[in-house]
Protein backbone atom coordinates (compact mmCIF):
# COMPACT_ATOMS: atom_id res chain seq x y z
CA UNK A 1 0.00 0.00 0.00
CA UNK A 2 1.07 3.57 -0.60
CA UNK A 3 2.25 5.24 2.60
CA UNK A 4 0.35 8.37 3.55
CA UNK A 5 2.80 11.21 4.04
CA UNK A 6 1.37 14.70 3.59
CA UNK A 7 4.65 16.38 4.45
CA UNK A 8 6.54 14.43 1.79
CA UNK A 9 3.99 15.24 -0.92
CA UNK A 10 3.99 18.92 0.00
CA UNK A 11 7.79 19.00 0.05
CA UNK A 12 7.93 17.42 -3.40
CA UNK A 13 5.59 20.06 -4.86
CA UNK A 14 7.60 22.84 -3.23
CA UNK A 15 10.89 21.40 -4.50
CA UNK A 16 9.63 21.47 -8.09
CA UNK A 17 8.66 25.12 -7.74
CA UNK A 18 12.00 25.95 -6.14
CA UNK A 19 13.81 24.43 -9.11
CA UNK A 20 11.77 26.61 -11.46
CA UNK A 21 12.49 29.68 -9.33
CA UNK A 22 16.20 28.87 -9.28
CA UNK A 23 16.22 28.54 -13.08
CA UNK A 24 14.50 31.89 -13.42
CA UNK A 25 17.03 33.50 -11.07
CA UNK A 26 19.92 32.17 -13.16
CA UNK A 27 18.36 33.54 -16.33
CA UNK A 28 17.73 36.89 -14.65
CA UNK A 29 21.35 37.11 -13.46
CA UNK A 30 22.54 36.35 -16.99
CA UNK A 31 20.24 39.04 -18.36
CA UNK A 32 21.57 41.63 -15.90
CA UNK A 33 25.17 40.69 -16.74
CA UNK A 34 24.53 41.13 -20.45
CA UNK A 35 22.67 44.38 -19.84
CA UNK A 36 25.55 45.75 -17.75
CA UNK A 37 28.13 44.83 -20.40
CA UNK A 38 26.05 46.41 -23.14
CA UNK A 39 25.64 49.60 -21.14
CA UNK A 40 29.38 49.72 -20.49
CA UNK A 41 30.23 49.34 -24.15
CA UNK A 42 27.46 51.36 -25.74
CA UNK A 43 28.25 54.25 -28.05
CA UNK A 44 27.67 57.51 -26.13
CA UNK A 45 26.55 59.15 -29.38
CA UNK A 46 24.09 56.33 -30.11
CA UNK A 47 22.86 54.91 -26.77
CA UNK A 48 20.86 51.68 -26.61
CA UNK A 49 17.09 51.80 -26.48
CA UNK A 50 15.90 51.25 -22.91
CA UNK A 51 12.34 50.25 -23.84
CA UNK A 52 13.32 46.71 -24.80
CA UNK A 53 15.13 46.13 -21.50
CA UNK A 54 12.16 47.44 -19.54
CA UNK A 55 9.83 45.04 -21.34
CA UNK A 56 12.10 42.10 -20.54
CA UNK A 57 12.26 43.13 -16.89
CA UNK A 58 8.46 43.20 -16.78
CA UNK A 59 8.31 39.73 -18.36
CA UNK A 60 10.75 38.33 -15.81
CA UNK A 61 8.67 39.81 -13.02
CA UNK A 62 5.46 38.27 -14.42
CA UNK A 63 7.05 34.83 -14.73
CA UNK A 64 8.38 35.05 -11.18
CA UNK A 65 4.89 35.85 -9.86
CA UNK A 66 3.40 32.96 -11.85
CA UNK A 67 5.93 30.50 -10.43
CA UNK A 68 5.10 31.70 -6.92
CA UNK A 69 1.39 31.15 -7.60
CA UNK A 70 2.06 27.67 -9.00
CA UNK A 71 4.10 26.83 -5.92
CA UNK A 72 1.16 27.69 -3.67
CA UNK A 73 -1.33 25.78 -5.84
CA UNK A 74 0.88 22.68 -5.99
CA UNK A 75 1.27 22.66 -2.23
CA UNK A 76 -2.50 23.07 -1.78
CA UNK A 77 -3.20 20.24 -4.24
CA UNK A 78 -0.80 17.92 -2.43
CA UNK A 79 -2.53 18.66 0.87
CA UNK A 80 -5.96 18.01 -0.66
CA UNK A 81 -4.81 14.67 -2.07
CA UNK A 82 -3.35 13.68 1.27
CA UNK A 83 -6.56 14.70 3.03
CA UNK A 84 -8.61 12.55 0.64
CA UNK A 85 -6.39 9.55 1.33
CA UNK A 86 -6.50 10.11 5.08
CA UNK A 87 -10.30 10.14 4.95
CA UNK A 88 -10.34 6.99 2.81
CA UNK A 89 -8.14 5.22 5.38
CA UNK A 90 -11.16 5.20 7.67
CA UNK A 91 -12.84 2.83 5.18
CA UNK A 92 -10.40 -0.02 5.91
CA UNK A 93 -12.10 -2.95 7.59
CA UNK A 94 -15.56 -1.57 6.86
CA UNK A 95 -18.11 -2.58 4.27
CA UNK A 96 -18.39 -0.06 1.43
CA UNK A 97 -21.06 0.25 -1.23
CA UNK A 98 -19.61 1.36 -4.56
CA UNK A 99 -21.31 2.50 -7.76
CA UNK A 100 -19.69 0.21 -10.31
CA UNK A 101 -20.43 -2.50 -12.86
CA UNK A 102 -17.43 -4.58 -11.76
CA UNK A 103 -17.41 -7.24 -9.09
CA UNK A 104 -15.39 -10.18 -7.83
CA UNK A 105 -16.40 -13.79 -8.33
CA UNK A 106 -15.45 -15.37 -5.01
CA UNK A 107 -16.36 -18.72 -3.47
CA UNK A 108 -18.56 -19.53 -6.44
CA UNK A 109 -20.75 -16.43 -6.50
CA UNK A 110 -20.89 -12.71 -7.15
CA UNK A 111 -23.70 -10.35 -6.17
CA UNK A 112 -24.66 -7.05 -7.74
CA UNK A 113 -27.51 -4.67 -7.05
CA UNK A 114 -29.17 -2.72 -9.84
CA UNK A 115 -31.74 0.02 -9.66
CA UNK A 116 -34.33 0.85 -12.32
CA UNK A 117 -35.67 4.37 -12.73
CA UNK A 118 -39.08 2.97 -13.70
CA UNK A 119 -40.84 -0.34 -14.20
CA UNK A 120 -39.52 -2.27 -17.17
CA UNK A 121 -41.19 -4.66 -19.56
CA UNK A 122 -38.04 -6.77 -19.80
CA UNK A 123 -34.63 -6.90 -18.12
CA UNK A 124 -31.63 -8.81 -19.43
CA UNK A 125 -28.52 -9.22 -17.30
CA UNK A 126 -25.29 -9.85 -19.20
CA UNK A 127 -22.06 -10.84 -17.49
CA UNK A 128 -18.64 -10.39 -19.10
CA UNK A 129 -15.18 -11.63 -18.16
CA UNK A 130 -12.06 -9.46 -18.00
CA UNK A 131 -11.51 -9.87 -21.75
CA UNK A 132 -14.96 -8.46 -22.50
CA UNK A 133 -16.41 -11.82 -23.54
CA UNK A 134 -20.02 -12.45 -22.57
CA UNK A 135 -20.16 -15.52 -20.36
CA UNK A 136 -23.71 -15.51 -19.01
CA UNK A 137 -27.18 -14.14 -19.59
CA UNK A 138 -29.85 -13.91 -16.88
CA UNK A 139 -33.38 -12.58 -16.67
CA UNK A 140 -33.80 -9.80 -14.11
CA UNK A 141 -36.56 -8.34 -11.98
CA UNK A 142 -38.52 -5.68 -13.85
CA UNK A 143 -40.04 -3.57 -11.07
CA UNK A 144 -39.00 -0.01 -10.34
CA UNK A 145 -36.39 0.26 -7.59
CA UNK A 146 -33.39 -1.76 -6.43
CA UNK A 147 -32.94 -5.49 -7.06
CA UNK A 148 -30.20 -7.97 -6.19
CA UNK A 149 -28.84 -10.55 -8.59
CA UNK A 150 -26.50 -13.33 -7.51
CA UNK A 151 -24.51 -15.15 -10.16
CA UNK A 152 -23.33 -18.69 -9.45
CA UNK A 153 -20.07 -18.30 -11.36
CA UNK A 154 -21.06 -20.57 -14.24
CA UNK A 155 -21.23 -19.81 -17.95
CA UNK A 156 -24.25 -20.43 -20.17
CA UNK A 157 -23.21 -24.06 -20.68
CA UNK A 158 -22.93 -24.69 -16.94
CA UNK A 159 -19.14 -24.65 -16.76
CA UNK A 160 -17.60 -23.23 -13.60
CA UNK A 161 -15.55 -20.12 -14.36
CA UNK A 162 -12.39 -19.01 -12.53
CA UNK A 163 -12.52 -16.44 -9.78
CA UNK A 164 -11.69 -12.88 -10.74
CA UNK A 165 -13.23 -9.60 -11.84
CA UNK A 166 -16.40 -9.68 -13.94
CA UNK A 167 -18.59 -6.94 -15.38
CA UNK A 168 -22.36 -6.72 -15.47
CA UNK A 169 -24.55 -4.96 -18.03
CA UNK A 170 -28.27 -4.35 -17.62
CA UNK A 171 -30.51 -4.08 -20.68
CA UNK A 172 -33.84 -2.76 -19.43
CA UNK A 173 -36.61 -1.78 -21.84
CA UNK A 174 -40.19 -0.61 -21.54
CA UNK A 175 -43.15 -1.92 -23.51
CA UNK A 176 -42.16 0.27 -26.47
CA UNK A 177 -38.63 -1.17 -26.44
CA UNK A 178 -37.16 2.10 -25.18
CA UNK A 179 -34.11 1.84 -22.92
CA UNK A 180 -34.62 2.50 -19.21
CA UNK A 181 -31.96 4.17 -17.06
CA UNK A 182 -30.31 1.99 -14.45
CA UNK A 183 -27.47 2.04 -11.93
CA UNK A 184 -25.39 -0.81 -10.53
CA UNK A 185 -23.49 -1.18 -7.28
CA UNK A 186 -21.61 -3.73 -5.21
CA UNK A 187 -20.69 -4.05 -1.55
CA UNK A 188 -17.40 -5.37 -0.19
CA UNK A 189 -15.16 -5.09 2.82
CA UNK A 190 -12.37 -2.58 2.21
CA UNK A 191 -8.92 -4.12 2.69
CA UNK A 192 -6.70 -1.21 1.67
CA UNK A 193 -6.32 2.34 0.41
CA UNK A 194 -3.75 3.68 -2.06
CA UNK A 195 -3.07 6.69 -4.25
CA UNK A 196 -3.08 6.44 -8.05
CA UNK A 197 -3.00 9.35 -10.47
CA UNK A 198 -3.56 11.78 -7.62
CA UNK A 199 -6.78 10.04 -6.55
CA UNK A 200 -7.52 7.87 -3.53
CA UNK A 201 -8.35 4.27 -4.46
CA UNK A 202 -9.99 1.65 -2.27
CA UNK A 203 -9.10 -2.00 -2.70
CA UNK A 204 -11.11 -5.11 -1.93
CA UNK A 205 -10.03 -8.71 -1.39
CA UNK A 206 -6.43 -7.61 -0.79
CA UNK A 207 -6.15 -5.72 -4.06
CA UNK A 208 -8.06 -8.09 -6.35
CA UNK A 209 -10.51 -5.26 -7.09
CA UNK A 210 -9.42 -1.61 -6.91
CA UNK A 211 -11.88 1.26 -7.46
CA UNK A 212 -11.80 5.07 -7.03
CA UNK A 213 -12.83 6.17 -3.55
CA UNK A 214 -15.05 8.79 -5.21
CA UNK A 215 -17.41 5.96 -6.27
CA UNK A 216 -18.08 4.96 -2.66
CA UNK A 217 -21.64 5.94 -1.72
CA UNK A 218 -21.84 4.54 1.82
CA UNK A 219 -19.67 2.90 4.46
CA UNK A 220 -20.82 0.82 7.42
CA UNK A 221 -19.39 -1.57 9.96
CA UNK A 222 -18.69 -4.91 8.31
CA UNK A 223 -21.02 -7.78 9.11
CA UNK A 224 -19.79 -11.22 10.07
CA UNK A 225 -20.99 -12.61 6.72
CA UNK A 226 -18.91 -11.93 3.60
CA UNK A 227 -19.91 -8.68 1.91
CA UNK A 228 -20.40 -10.51 -1.38
CA UNK A 229 -22.96 -12.96 0.05
CA UNK A 230 -26.69 -12.60 -0.52
CA UNK A 231 -29.47 -14.69 0.97
CA UNK A 232 -31.98 -13.96 -1.78
CA UNK A 233 -32.52 -16.46 -4.58
CA UNK A 234 -30.83 -15.86 -7.93
CA UNK A 235 -32.94 -14.49 -10.71
CA UNK A 236 -34.35 -17.08 -13.06
CA UNK A 237 -31.87 -17.96 -15.77
CA UNK A 238 -32.65 -17.85 -19.45
CA UNK A 239 -31.66 -21.06 -21.22
CA UNK A 240 -31.00 -19.33 -24.53
CA UNK A 241 -27.83 -17.32 -24.97
CA UNK A 242 -28.15 -13.70 -26.04
In the predicted structure, residue 158 carries a pLDDT above the cut 70: yes
pLDDT given for residue 27 in this prediction = 64
107 CB neighbour count, 10 Å cutoff: 11
Q: What are phi and psi of 193, to 5 degrees?
A: -135, 140
**Cα separation of 39 and 17, whole Å?**
33
Report the top-level CATH class of 94-221. Answer: mainly beta
Average pLDDT, the chain: 76
100-104, 109-113, 172-176, 237-241: the lowest-pLDDT one? 237-241
Confidence class of residue 163 from pLDDT cuts 50, 70 and 90? very high
Contact 137, 235 (CB under 8 A): no
pTM above threshold 0.85: no
Residue 38 has pLDDT above 50, yes or no: yes
pLDDT at 36: 73
pLDDT digits (tens, 9 = 90+) for 60-94: 667 667 766 766 666 666 555 555 555 667 788 89
Q: What is the 3-state secondary structure (H, E, C) of 108-159?
A: CEEEEEEEECCCCCEEEEEEECCCCCEEEEEECCCCCEEEEEEECCECCCCC
* pLDDT at residue 234 in the model: 36
Amino acid sequence: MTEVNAAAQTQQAQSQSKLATAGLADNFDTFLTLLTEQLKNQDPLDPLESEQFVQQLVQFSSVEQQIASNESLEALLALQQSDAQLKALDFIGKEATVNTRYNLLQDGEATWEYGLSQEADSVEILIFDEKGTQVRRLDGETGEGVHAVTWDGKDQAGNTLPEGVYEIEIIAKDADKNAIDYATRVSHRVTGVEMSGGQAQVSFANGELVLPASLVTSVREASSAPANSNTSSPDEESEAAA
